[in-house]
Structure 1
């Protein structure tokens, strides 16, 4: 009888626990739905300016200044983009920007070498040198613009694309990221490569760099965005309009052309869309690189 009573009690307890479990599942589902709706609303609010920019760039001039404004173009056209690269100098600005970004890309290798040295080598003054690298993060870029301009002027690099890209070759923050990431590379793997007869440069090139793809992707995206969106420095160092970058050309467009929202939206799209494409392509590596570097 006692065993039968215990079974009945167990069945009764399980029957009473089922509604509580169902209510817990329902509350979790409601919470998930609420969070999903909130995230969807936030995504729509965030993406709406980008959608409005792309939509406005496809509108004819009449539709762009019509009131009330329309969300979608009635007669979409690419005339504004054609006008940017035929009547205006945006083709030249685009080439200049790409050249500046490519020159700045050389700095990725230099910063990777510096980060590798701080992570895996012991030498005199290593702590103080790394402290000086971190100290540069506390100095605003605007403070160093005049000394940098004077140095480049003495080297006759003002009003050149090399002079525009040269200050972006090295960044203290990027060296810090490389150092954090390369500290996770096993030292035993490097010692094994050296025992096999590999020199330091070959070890760095064939062992360390292949393992550093996530942080290289992070630096590639950061370097691309920095060079692509650079405005103040190219405006200062380039006196020739033929050396302007896209950001400077966009600012110049707003002063040269009367109110033409569709043309300005098209120019802004040329500035923004490549950055979004690069970030989407490297997004997985960017997240992985920041996570492995200890920055969360």
Structure 2
């Protein structure tokens, strides 16, 4: 009697990609040089500002004798910023504008994008054309008319006047429309057969599928509202209503004794919240961008 013996097939391990798998050496060198160049012109100024803010009084920020790294790092400039201007008040005002902007953008862009993603209804094409046409006019061309409208509403020197012109953006509506168009029609038909109403389909079917696009809208709105300088400069008057970017710009005036290190420290302070938000939500941000952002 013979015994049949079977030998297990060797387990095939996944081979890790080597550097040769990414292209020819010459192509890799060119690719990484381009990436380093883009990194230098985008992140380089921020790193330089941070290093300059750490320099002492006797160290030069500009000029031939200036060095990139501080010889005696100190936080004096940051203490000067918090001592010269009410940073906590400016941050609170900026957060109020940001919360109002993000809330209105999410509310109106999701609902408008949902309606525009639906099959043809009367007036849908006209709304779509007007939406695209509104993106062709730069903000500076309508700035005067916006200010006159805000003035007639009595919202000058009011944070609501800062928020109101940007309560919804056409690009965000288009982004949400593209995300909703990616939902298969068959899934919605199945939900309708199960008795799901319009609001239930929107809440439990479309919104969860567009989570990546929602995060993109949130981050873009936060950055634009937080970094906005021109419109708050036009609308706001009193120091107690200044946003962070507008309030920190006062550090460049002669009344505070213009110090380049203090100005650099103020710039770094205004950028930190944006960096923290992006570091926390970057996974959803890239997923939303890669999922097919805008679909016409």
TM over 0.5, shorter chain: yes
Rg bigger for which structure?
A: 1
TM-score (norm 1): 0.83
User: In 2, Cα distance between the equivalents of 1:83 and 1:193?
Assistant: 60
The C-alpha deviation readout for 1:225-269, integer Å capped at 9, x for no partner, is: 110111111111111121111221232221243331110010000
- Check 1:157–1:72 CA distance in 2 against 1; reply closer, same or farther (3 A cut): same
Structure 2 residue runs without a partner (length 5+): 1-19
- Check 1:232–1:43 CA distance in 2 against 1; reply closer, same or farther (3 A cut): closer
User: In 1, Cα distance between the equivalents of 2:156 and 2:128?
Assistant: 30
1:16 counterpart residue number: none
Moved more, 212-221 or 84-93: 84-93
1:136 counterpart residue number: 134
Runs of at least 4 residues of structure 1 off by over 4 A?
Answer: 64-67
User: In 1, Cα distance between the equivalents of 2:76 and 2:38?
Assistant: 33
Residues 1:195 and 2:204 are matched in the alignment: no
Instruction: Map 1:1-296 to 2 at 5 A.
Output: 28-44=24-40, 46-64=42-60, 68-106=65-103, 107-255=105-253, 256-293=255-292
The C-alpha deviation readout for 1:106-161, integer Å capped at 9, x for no partner, is: 12221111001000253211100111011100111122222222323333222211
User: In 1, Cα distance between the equivalents of 2:92 and 2:224?
Assistant: 16
- Check 1:96–1:202 CA distance in 2 against 1; reply closer, same or farther (3 A cut): same
Contact 1:61/1:260 (CA < 8 Å) preserved in 2? Answer: no
Moved more, 185-194 or 33-42: 33-42
User: In 2, Cα distance between the equivalents of 1:182 and 1:206?
Assistant: 13
The C-alpha deviation readout for 1:40-95, integer Å capped at 9, x for no partner, is: 35434543222111111122222245861122223222232222223312221111
User: In 2, Cα distance between the equivalents of 1:200 and 1:295?
Assistant: 23
Q: How big is the alpha-carbon RMSD for the aligned residues of Structure 1 and Structure 2?
A: 2.4
TM-score (norm 2): 0.83
- Check 1:155–1:199 CA distance in 2 against 1; reply closer, same or farther (3 A cut): farther
The C-alpha deviation readout for 1:273-296, integer Å capped at 9, x for no partner, is: 322332333333333323333559
User: How many residue pairs are counted as aligned between the two chains?
Assistant: 272
- Check 1:185–1:91 CA distance in 2 against 1; reply closer, same or farther (3 A cut): same
User: In 1, Cα distance between the equivalents of 2:83 and 2:250?
Assistant: 16
Contact 1:61/1:261 (CA < 8 Å) preserved in 2? Answer: no
Moved more, 127-136 or 284-293: 284-293
User: In 2, Cα distance between the equivalents of 1:37 and 1:250?
Assistant: 36
- Check 1:263–1:122 CA distance in 2 against 1; reply closer, same or farther (3 A cut): same
- Check 1:191–1:142 CA distance in 2 against 1; reply closer, same or farther (3 A cut): same
User: In 2, Cα distance between the equivalents of 1:271 and 1:145?
Assistant: 25
- Check 1:76–1:114 CA distance in 2 against 1; reply closer, same or farther (3 A cut): same
